[in-house]
Structure 1
Amino acid sequence: MAEQHTPQDPTTQHPRPEQSPEQIEHPGRTSQMRQRPDHGEDSYRGSGRLEGRRALITGGDSGIGRAVAIAFAREGADVAISYLPEEESDAQETVRLVEAAGRRALAVPGDIREEAHCVDLVERVAREFAGLDILVNNAAYQMSQDGGLRGITTEQLDRVLKTNLYAMFWITKAALAHLGAGASIINTTSIQAYDPSPQLLDYATTKAGILNFTRGLAQQLAEEGIRVNAVAPGPIWTPLIPATMPAEKVQQFGADTPLGRAGQPAELAPLYVFFASQESSYVTGEVLGATGGRLLS
């Protein structure tokens, strides 16, 4: 008999804005959070949709990246993650979860703001996995600035652009030497690409760039059989939030969505699985939003 699943009310499936007004040191680690995100550790069930695939996920140590790593592994993929060295404890937990699913895990620390590291990252993954089938450009940096444009220093702008845009260009370019027909590139854009928050102007600008990169690259690579798509999250509860936002905004994070709450990383993972699998074989250059009801327009 097939397993029965009771429908859940999406407005109450996860906590409404009850987050304590916490702040943690950037880049933020899951272990520091009083209210831990749900990455699908206890809920995601795979069905072999990515059996034998080899995936690289940037920013795979925590948040959305960890949820995607868990889902990919439980669908049958070997998973490599990149992350900052100071996120080692989170990265090792993701490795444990991937290996618990019976798949191979590879953790590669380093700073993707450096082109040489981006190239070495891809080459190492392709060498140790004997190829690459799925690339998820997910790593990102943001820092809220209530002073708007006047508060954005050149140092911050440089960090946001290099982490969110430059690294995506460098890593994807290096990956093309290893991706063949049937491969999938999935980029993490944001609702900020469509509806920018004033305090995240630099971050929102990069997310709009990721959206256009996705659409343009999809047209370039279509004839090679390589699909390029993007996921656009809304407010998702990850360590990045209490590490980059004022305490009062953390407390009400996600309250302005029609569903009345922040999303959990586990709620996004199925979108990445869809784009990575053959089920989306006729889908390229597209964006799927997970925004709690806020419109992508």
Structure 2
Amino acid sequence: MAQVQDQSQSQSQVRVDLGGKGAIVTGGGSGICLAFVQHLYRAGCNVLICDLGLHREAVAWLDSIGQSGGTTSTNTKTGQSSSASPRVAFLKTDVSDWKQLEQTFEGYASEFGGGVPDVVCPGAGVYEPSFNNFWNDRDDDHYQLLRINLEHPLKMSRIAIRKWVQQRKRGATIVHVSSTGAQKPSMLTPLYGAAKQGVSNFTRGMARLQDLEGIRVVAVAPGPTMSPLMYDHPEALRFVDPDKDKLSTPDEIARGMMAVAFDRDRFPPGTVLEVTHPDRWREVSLLNDPGPGPHAFTSRKEEGMADVYAALDADRKSGSG
């Protein structure tokens, strides 16, 4: 993979040359993963965004790099634009569909002239208060949140590993998006916490792939972040006090992703890097971890327990008839 060229004293800035490299980023149409796409692009990397759609912020950014010589594609297949490298393309993808996960690699090869990506970030995700959740019983025959937040990153990793091993490609990297929610269990968001804890555990378990096949697997663990998962969903904003709570920006998290992905000397494979502050990062330990920093908590989350109490009350009433 690419070699880190320079790292400033600030933990939030890592410079890396990714010229000639390529990446697949699920969830890259908005938020944290969009910011990661932007960092990859600035480093010279071709990127295939795989998402259900492009947030207005993504559309504006893609328009801006198109005007400055980059390439964008919003075709729901693989895009038709052609211009100077690096390029960014978009493939409409439902990450809960395993066939579509396989097709992301086909789309990458079609868009960028064959081969496999050097970086895979299965970062698409949803948050429990703003999605079908454990307490509202809106899922029919499976928990869709688990398919998106847990099953998809694991399956995407398996596909990537298989393709890299088949092609004898060493030096590739998988960057997962976990959460500080993996470290602090919550009755309000049990599915989200379980999924993110699974992602962290999977990341650590894949550390030996570096020695076996030259494949690096790492993760970032953001705290509360002011992304569309938050500000486009009033039910999630209910738990935040803007005067008290420190919310990270997607760019702050993406800088941590660049560091944990490409600063190989500092962060070993299997690292789960907590990023809740632009200049203070923390490696999450498997055993005897002290827990996330103060910025990982929001002031009003306990107020959301009213929804849990209401669900339990409804259960009692339905059983008393």
Into which bin does the TM-score normalised by the smaller protein fall?
A: 0.7 to 0.9
Residue equivalent to 2:129? 144
Structure 1 contact 189–207 (Cα < 8 Å) conserved: yes
Residue equivalent to 1:52? 20
| 1:208 partnered with 2:197 | yes
Distance in 1 between residues matched to 2:157 and 2:109, nearest whole Å: 13
Instruction: For structure 2, list consecutive stretches of 5 or more residues without a partner in the other structure.
Output: 1-7, 71-84, 281-289, 294-321
Residue equivalent to 1:158? 143
Structure 2 contact 19–86 (Cα < 8 Å) conserved: no
Residue equivalent to 2:309? none
- Residue correspondences, number: 251
- Sort the Cα spacing of 1:234 and 1:202 in 2 relative to 1 into closer, same or farther, 3 A: same
Distance in 2 between residues matched to 1:247 and 1:115, nearest whole Å: 28
| 1:185 partnered with 2:174 | yes
SS of the residue corresponding to residue 229 of structure 1 reads strand
Distance in 1 between residues matched to 2:252 and 2:231, nearest whole Å: 19
Q: CA deviation at 1:63?
A: 0.6
Q: CA deviation at 1:186?
A: 0.6
Residue type at the aligned position of 2:118: D
| 1:198 partnered with 2:198 | no
Q: CA deviation at 1:142?
A: 1.9
Residue equivalent to 2:100? 117
Residue type at the aligned position of 1:82: C
Distance in 1 between residues matched to 2:254 and 2:236, nearest whole Å: 27
Distance in 2 between residues matched to 1:222 and 1:97, nearest whole Å: 41
Residue type at the aligned position of 1:110: T
TM-score by length of 2: 0.68
Distance in 2 between residues matched to 1:246 and 1:88, nearest whole Å: 19
User: Which is higher, the Rg of structure 1 or of structure 2?
Assistant: 2
SS of the residue corresponding to residue 124 of structure 2 reads coil
- Sort the Cα spacing of 1:281 and 1:263 in 2 relative to 1 into closer, same or farther, 3 A: closer
Instruction: For structure 1, list consecutive stretches of 5 or more residues without a partner in the other structure.
Output: 8-43
Distance in 1 between residues matched to 2:109 and 2:186, nearest whole Å: 38
Structure 1 contact 57–69 (Cα < 8 Å) conserved: yes
Instruction: Find runs of 4+ consecutive structure 1 residues off by over 6 angstroms.
Output: none
Identify the match of residue 222 of structure 2 among 216, 233, 252.
233
Structure 2 contact 30–55 (Cα < 8 Å) conserved: no
Residue equivalent to 2:59? 92
Residue equivalent to 2:317? none
TM-score by length of 1: 0.73
Q: Percent identity?
A: 27
Structure 1 contact 230–286 (Cα < 8 Å) conserved: yes
Residue type at the aligned position of 2:25: I
Residue type at the aligned position of 2:46: D
